[in-house]
């Protein structure tokens, strides 16, 4: 084994360098692996099938759907603060129509349409009037809150009486397909479709291009404003799916409850975006971001730490991950 003399001193440092480079390149996977190792050492329960399923069902399913919606908004260089509004409107329409005796399918379609309507309102503000997405969706969020107050006589929840829950409704929230919970199946399908949209469709490609350099898209003779409009409608529609599942699971509509997802969805989207090799919004990154948040929340609980440390943990994690990724960008530029 002839090792060049000059090389003998190096291996440890090159391994360190490679490790450092790896962390910089795939920080999300590294972070996820580290967190999983940490928690499986800390708690014997963590790596059990039951717990992993619990993570997926309780911490991931709904958030991943909302975050996919957010990823589309971020892909075109925007943000959507009104995803919760779309969730609420879908939920309200769904519950109200089921309560009124409409077939579950009709009610679900109406729910999806309500979410898309919220998106369409944003689309008009953003693409037609030219308001920045942050402000436009902030306005929508506020108007949506008040509308829900009006619709519910001051914020009363709309319950579905236990006796009156149709089978299809129950199936959507609690049913299983081949042993897998239906919400998880839907989330999985959405992940696949959204991944395909970004990787393999013209729509996804143009959306990404708009997010990177909108002027070039316009100067290339591509209808960028129409693309942005469709994207925001799509965001409302996807968020509405989360609204339907949420309602079917808890069999109640509580006004303005959709907002609970907002900040985690933004956080997970940007974790996935800033930590991807090209720094673009992307579905795998989004999914990993949601998993990371979900695992940390679950793991902190399992390790016996006080429930309230969850938020500190996830917040610190998001902060650290963002700081790391911005440091990586500087590293890449230098």
Q: What angle do CA 96, 98, 104 make, to 5 degrees?
A: 135
Stretch that binds another protein, among 13-21, 35-43, 48-56, 303-311 (CB under 8 A): 303-311
Task: Using CB under 8 A, pick the residue from 15, 47, 106, 135 that binds another protein.
Answer: 135
Please say which residue, 174 or 328, places its beta carbon nearer to another protein: 328
- As beta bridge partners, residue 158 has 253
How many residues lie near another protein (CB under 8 A)?
Answer: 68
**Under 8 Å between Cβ of 241 and 116:** no
Distance CA 58, CA 295 (A): 11
Task: Using CB under 8 A, pick the residue from 33, 47, 327, 332 that binds another protein.
Answer: 327
Please say which residue, 224 or 251, places its beta carbon nearer to another protein: 224
Task: Using CB under 8 A, pick the residue from 21, 213, 331, 332 that binds another protein.
Answer: 213
Residues 263-292 close enough to bind another protein by CB under 8 A: 263, 266-267, 270, 278-279
Distance CA 94, CA 83 (A): 17
Tokens at residue 38, please?
């940490």
Helix (H, G, I), strand (E, B) or coil at 180: strand
Residue 222 as a binder of another protein (CB under 8 A): the answer is yes
Stretch that binds another protein, among 106-114, 177-185, 186-194, 214-222 (CB under 8 A): 214-222
Residue 132 as a binder of another protein (CB under 8 A): the answer is yes
Cα–Cα separations (whole angstroms), residue 170 to 166, 237, 258, 285:
6, 21, 20, 31
Distance CA 300, CA 298 (A): 6
Residues 75-94 close enough to bind another protein by CB under 8 A: 79, 81
Distance CA 213, CA 215 (A): 6
Residue 202 as a binder of another protein (CB under 8 A): the answer is yes
Which run of H or E residues covers position 31? helix 27-42
Helices 83-99 and 224-250: crossing angle in degrees, nearest 10, is 50
Distance CA 193, CA 196 (A): 5
Please say which residue, 10 or 329, places its beta carbon nearer to another protein: 329
Which run of H or E residues covers position 178? none
Residues 141-200 close enough to bind another protein by CB under 8 A: 141-147, 149-150, 154-155, 200
Residues 99-128 close enough to bind another protein by CB under 8 A: 125
Please say which residue, 108 or 293, places its beta carbon nearer to another protein: 293
For binding to another protein (CB under 8 A), which residues are involved? 79, 81, 125, 129-136, 138-147, 149-150, 154-155, 200-203, 205-206, 208-209, 212-213, 215-223, 263, 266-267, 270, 278-279, 306, 308-316, 318-319, 322-323, 326-327, 329-330
């Amino acid at each position: 084994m002839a090792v060049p003399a000059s090389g003998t001193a190096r291996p440890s440092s090159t391994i360190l360098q490679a490790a450092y480079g790896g962390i910089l390149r795939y920080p999300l996977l590294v972070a996820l692996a580290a967190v999983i190792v940490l928690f499986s050492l800390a708690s014997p329960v963590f790596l059990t099938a039951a717990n992993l399923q619990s993570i997926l069902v309780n911490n991931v399913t709904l958030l991943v759907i909302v975050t996919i919606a957010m990823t589309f908004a971020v892909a075109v260089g925007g943000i959507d603060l009104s995803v919760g509004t779309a969730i609420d409107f879908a939920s309200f329409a769904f519950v109200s129509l089921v309560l009124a005796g409409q077939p579950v399918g009709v009610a679900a379609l109406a729910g999806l349409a309500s979410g898309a309507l919220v998106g369409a309102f944003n689309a008009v503000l953003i693409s037609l009037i030219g308001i920045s997405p942050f402000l436009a969706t902030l306005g929508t969020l506020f108007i949506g809150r008040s509308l829900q107050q009006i619709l519910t006589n001051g914020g009363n929840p709309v319950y579905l009486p236990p006796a009156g829950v149709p089978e299809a409704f129950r199936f959507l929230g609690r049913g299983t397909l081949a042993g897998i919970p239906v919400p998880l199946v839907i989330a999985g399908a959405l992940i696949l479709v959204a991944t395909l949209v970004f990787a393999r469709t013209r729509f996804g490609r143009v959306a990404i291009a708009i997010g990177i350099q909108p002027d070039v898209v316009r100067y290339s003779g591509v209808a960028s404003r129409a693309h942005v409009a469709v994207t925001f409608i799509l965001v409302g529609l996807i968020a509405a799916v989360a609204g339907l599942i949420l309602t079917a699971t808890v069999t109640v509509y509580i006004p303005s409850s959709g907002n609970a997802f907002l900040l985690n969805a933004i956080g997970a989207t940007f974790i996935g975006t800033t930590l991807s090799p090209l720094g673009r919004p992307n579905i795998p990154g989004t999914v990993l971001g949601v998993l990371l948040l979900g695992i940390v929340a679950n793991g902190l609980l399992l390790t016996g730490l006080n429930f309230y440390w969850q938020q500190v943990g996830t917040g610190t994690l998001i902060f650290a991950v963002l700081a790391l990724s911005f440091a990586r960008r500087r590293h890449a530029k230098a």
